[in-house]
Copies of this chain bind each other. A is one copy, B any other.
Amino acid sequence: MKPRLFTPGPTPVPERILLRMAEAPLYHRSDEFRAVMRRVNAGLQYVFQTARPVLTLGSSGTGAMESVVASLFRPGDTVITVNGGKFGARWTQLAHAFGLKAEEIEIPWGRALMKEELAASLKAHGEAAAVFLTHCETSTGTLTDVAQMARIIREHSRALVCVDGISSVGALEMQFDLWGIDVCVCASQKGFMVPPGLAFVALGERAESAARDARAHGFYFDLLKALASWKTADTPWTPPVSLIAGLDAALEMIREEGIENVWRRHRRLGAALRSGMTGLDLRLFSQAPSDSMTAVWIPEGIPWRQFSDHLRKESGITVSGGQEEYARKIFRVAHMGYCDAGDIVEAVSGIERALSALGHRFPSGAGLEATQRALAEES
């Protein structure tokens, strides 16, 4: 069985990247490695659409989130967080861990933040030093309109706009400079098509000033240390050189395709996967679905474990289950990074066969028919 990874990180890694990672590692304090790092730094700026530094850390995405909370604020600062899923809640947890006062906007899982909710919170907490947003909430597949939210925040406050772009950047449109974002974090194992182990922090000018003012005492995740090294295409600590070599290849591939085409491809794949799911009489979990991944209700009476086992054993497909209170109630299919129309067809076909084997009734062939139609419409 061919392994077909549809999990929202790790995502499939192209052979070109795997083979690049399999080359003998470079010494990180060498001109040769600094040349790689210079290309990578420029490539990351292209993907985030920014002229500002994008820092590379050796950690998961959570490490990058921590670096922001730890480096830019002081204990006692008020920040606004949005809890509409596990990863929005992580900003709150991090804020608490570092002694910040988190004013949390709680919204139901699967619904996106509304601008009125944000405006009300900004009004109530005029002192807020930051608003933490989640572009694509990975636990629910929900997209937040960060361009709109950033505009509202900038209009009504001096709060920094801090965005978790982990399941979006490199897949969905991200205009760091144009949208007025101050910080955006991401990780390697999503749209970037590289295995996990690297995380990124795009650092705007106001965010850099905040870091200088905060004089935080962090160490490994000190963004000022990372920024100082970035200026000479260096890193403060021994970096994961083989993953960075893979990233170099990934950024070449993204440039060859063109970032606008990458965004367009994901819009098409997202629409096709959703059409396939509704064609199978399945209900989407999110009211504002992201084009990078989709959460779907498991039909009543179908056990999650049997469903995922069937997918894996009969089709080689791995999807993710739901998290926390939605464990065993939803499944999540990623379609980001190294993913094309053929992959979407495989996913819909495998899901159809698994559901059919487990007794779900739907018009035969309707899932694939709807998928094909959506692919044709947006080709």
Contacts and interface: CB of A to CB of B under 8 A. Distances in A.
Interface of A: 3, 5, 7, 9-10, 12-13, 18-19, 21-30, 58-63, 66, 93-94, 96-99, 187, 189, 195-197, 217-221, 237-243, 318, 320
Contact of A219 (B9, B61, B93, B196): B93
Contact of A98 (B18, B25, B217, B240): B217
Contact of A239 (B12, B13, B60, B320): B60
Given A9-B238, A59-B220, 7 more contacts: A10-B25, A12-B24, A21-B22, A61-B238, A62-B238, A94-B219, A98-B219
Best-surrounded residue of A5, A23, A25, A28 (most CB of chain B within 10 A): A25
30 contacts: A7-B27, A9-B238, A10-B26, A13-B24, A13-B242, A19-B22, A21-B21, A21-B242, A25-B195, A29-B320, A30-B318, A58-B63, A59-B237, A60-B238, A61-B238, A63-B237, A66-B219, A93-B219, A97-B218, A97-B219, A98-B217, A187-B238, A189-B238, A195-B241, A195-B243, A196-B240, A197-B240, A197-B242, A240-B240, A240-B243
B62 A59 contact: no
Nearest to A99: B217
B242 A195 contact: yes
Contacts of A196: 25, 28, 58, 238-242
Q: What are the 9 closest A-B residue pairs judged by CB atoms, nearest first?
A: A197-B240, A195-B242, A22-B22, A60-B237, A10-B25, A18-B22, A60-B238, A97-B219, A197-B197
A59 B235 CA distance: 13
A58 B28 contact: no
A238 B59 CA distance: 9
Contacts of A61: 237-238
Contacts of A66: 219-220
Best-surrounded residue of A18, A59, A98, A217 (most CB of chain B within 10 A): A59
Contacts of A59: 58-59, 63, 220, 237
A208 to B, nearest CB: 20
Contacts of A220: 59-60, 62-63, 66, 221
A322 B119 CA distance: 55
A58 B59 CA distance: 5
Nearest to A63: B220
Given A58-B60, A189-B238, A10 B27 contact: yes
Nearest to A12: B24
A197 B242 CA distance: 9
A126 to B, nearest CB: 27
A253 to B, nearest CB: 17
Given A30-B318, A99-B217, A218-B97, A240 B22 contact: no
B318 A217 contact: no
Contacts of A13: 24-25, 242
Contacts of A243: 195, 197, 240, 242-243
